[in-house]
Chain A
């Protein structure tokens, strides 16, 4: 068991190292650098040379990588190429805003998703299941910006209930953030609920048709006792990785939602950094997002391991 946990930790760490190498090499390999972006069309050879000298761009790649990783591990994210701002400061507040958006969406969305999944699983193929499942497929397959656009049209233009864009400063206190994110949260809940719900529904159906539940039915165990005591614990276990992945996706993949609602989060910042070709900032955000993804996956792996006696004994 202990060995298994260590092994998972090692792979998580290895993944992060590989991510850092891939991201670093990818950004270095691309033509153009911060100086060409910073000086734009007016760049002269001389100007570029001075700029590159100042920012020490011309050194060998492995030196730059080693330096960047050492600083990064020590919590120093470096300074942004444009405007010389401290990346830790830029990213910190944005991360907080994205985290608020994600947390609120998860708190609202996950219980709804589990409830709907169990409900539709138990009422398989009845009209209510077909209606909910079809809506879920639409929510899963349509691009988020389409869902968002349609919901903005309904809720903000036709019904005039919520603001269509977030009007807030990046460093607004949490209480000022909340009223601005009603519509983005609705969109996110809509999309994430669909993913989790489908998974829960499938596993509810699988467990309800399994031999041990059939056996319990034949034995005369009351229906709700079967549902709560025998089915739910078994059906919810496979949903943990899906929920974890959905949360990771929320943190990393809300780029488009943030852009649609002009929300000052990490995703929006990433788009700006890429447009500005601000490589240190892009790298920091990439590492942060990958770190979140790897951590969430690690937690879900370990959680599944702790909760599932079969996996625990099989591999150790």
Chain B
């Protein structure tokens, strides 16, 4: 009996994931989004092989590479101390992807478990936690992020954990509300009557039902986290130089945009394409799972 149910469950799980994946790549915009993501992941993972130069190597000033315009050897030109902009842009994706992918996993992980738990337990615990969530949400998140990062430091793990925690706050409410739709359903009541433990109910009964919401929410949060991370870098609260980073490159180059636009626009294009890729994928995922982000409206 047990083996049969697990088999059925696994069968269902596998087909759902495959189903969503096929659904995402069915539309043209979904294909484009996934394509952009693939390009970014390949560039980030293969950066040491793909990048033509060392991203932090500063050439001797006698070579005259400071603010050099794009050339055959340096296709996207050079920055203020002669470093290769193309290589720095390629390497810049590594930090962004590492921080936001891990951060999103942490955010969605803790918020989905806590949200389902609150929805299931309800009562006073739920009420108190939701009030605290309200309060945290009414302070601009950037303020919290800046406070913690400016004091604790800008090491990569601190960035990941801080972003992971704060980006779980809004999904927490969404997962909790989604859970509320199910707590009164017969199959949950039956599981409770069977005396199943809370963790088992969460994992076996609730999670399969809100998995779609979790995935779509995760994709959306990923794009917002990237936005926040790049904004932090731009403000100088991201990774420390000389590590190549898009936000920092844009911030450094803004002042000399009129004489070296390539230095600004390379990271701008890289960051924009990654964000657009994530959003198109998230939209396609929402449509494929029937949870349209824009509440029934196309586009």
Contact = CB atoms under 8 A, between A and B. Distances in A.
Interface of A: 11, 14-15, 18-19, 22-23, 26-27, 30-32, 124-125, 129-130, 133-134, 137-138, 141-146, 149-150, 152-153, 157, 198, 201-202, 205-206, 252-253, 255-256, 259-260, 270-271, 274-275, 277, 282, 285-286, 289-290, 293-294, 297
Given A138-B276, A143-B271, A202-B296, A277 B235 contact: no
B286 to A, nearest CB: 13
Given A143-B230, A153-B264, A134 B235 contact: no
Given A153-B257, A157-B257, A157-B258, A141 B275 contact: yes
B193 interface: no
Given A142-B275, A206-B295, 9 more contacts: A19-B138, A27-B147, A30-B151, A124-B298, A145-B247, A202-B297, A271-B146, A274-B146, A289-B139
B231 A22 contact: no
Given A15-B135, A198-B294, A134 B299 contact: yes
Nearest to A124: B298
A138 B146 CA distance: 26
Contacts, number: 130
B299 A14 contact: no
B298 A149 contact: no
Interface of A is mostly: helix
B22 interface: no
21 contacts: A18-B134, A19-B138, A26-B144, A26-B148, A31-B151, A138-B272, A141-B276, A141-B279, A142-B271, A145-B234, A146-B250, A146-B268, A149-B264, A152-B254, A153-B261, A205-B296, A205-B297, A256-B234, A270-B146, A286-B139, A290-B138
Interface string B246-264: 0100110010011001001
The 5 closest A-B pairs by CB, nearest first: A18-B135, A252-B140, A202-B297, A30-B151, A293-B138
A24 to B, nearest CB: 12
Interface of B: 131-132, 134-136, 138-140, 142-144, 146-148, 150-152, 223, 227, 230-231, 234-235, 247, 250-251, 254, 257-258, 261, 264, 268, 271-272, 275-276, 279, 294-299
Contacts of B294: 198, 202
A15 B131 contact: yes
B64 to A, nearest CB: 24
A260 B142 CA distance: 16
B135 A143 contact: no
B264 A32 contact: no
Nearest to B150: A274
A8 B129 CA distance: 18
